[in-house]
Amino acid sequence: MTARRLPAGGGTARGPGSLIPLPAPLLAALADRDEVLVTSRAGARMGTVRMSFATAPSGVVYLLTSAFSRKAARWDRDPWVRLTVPGSQVAAEAVVQRVAADDLDPAAEEAVLSRFPDAGAATPEALRELLETGTHLLFRVEGESPVRASGPAPQPEFGPETAPEA
C-alpha cells in the first residue's frame, strides 16, 4: 500500500502571516468541545463527518486524518468545508489546506500534539513521522476569503442536507 504524497506544486501550506482566522463566534463555541462536524463537497453532493480537532492560537483549526480516508481525497479535490458545532446552529464556511511536516509553525504544533496523542502524534518527532511517511495527513482549516468563496451551493449527498444535532 502506497501512502498519498503531496501533489507537485499543490498542497503546500502558506506562511502563518497569511492565515485567515475563523470567525470568533465559531472559535468561542468550539472552545470546550472535543468534536466538530465537517461538511465537504464531492462534486455536486455533500457529506458530513464528525472529527476531533485542534485549535491553534492563530485562530485556525487543524484536522488529522488517515491519508486513505475519503474525506482527505475530497479535501484534496475541493478545499471548501463548513464547520458546525455539534448540537448548535454555530457554523462557518472555511477552506482546508494540507500542511506538510516542515510547514507546521511551533504554536500550531503544540496544539496538534496536545490534541492527537492517541493517533500516534504524542511528540514532535512522532507527528513528523506520521506526516512524512504519508500514513496521516494534517489539514489546516481557516476562514474563507471573499475572493476564494465561489461556486453554486452543492446538493446534499445523503438525502436532505445533514443537519447538526438538535
Give residue-wise pLDDT tens across range 30-80: 999 999 999 999 888 999 999 999 999 999 999 999 999 999 999 999 999
Asked if residue 154 belongs to a domain, the reply is no
Q: 71: which DSSP letter? A: H
Asked if residue 52 belongs to a domain, the reply is yes
Buried b (16+ CB within 10 A) or exposed e, 107-118: ebbebbbebbee
Asked if residue 158 belongs to a domain, the reply is no
Most confident of 2-11, 60-69, 156-165: 60-69
Asked if residue 85 belongs to a domain, the reply is yes
C-alpha cell at 31: 472552545
Asked if residue 47 belongs to a domain, the reply is yes
Quote the domain boundaries for residue 119.
18-141
Q: Is 71 exposed, middle or buried (0-12, 13-18, 19+ CB in 10 A)?
A: buried
Asked if residue 160 belongs to a domain, the reply is no
Of 146 and 45, more confident? 45
CATH code at position 31: 2.30.110.10
**Which band of pLDDT confidence, cut at 50, 70 and 90, is reported for residue 4?**
very low
> Does the pLDDT at position 153 exceed 70?
no
Q: How many domains does the chain have?
A: 1
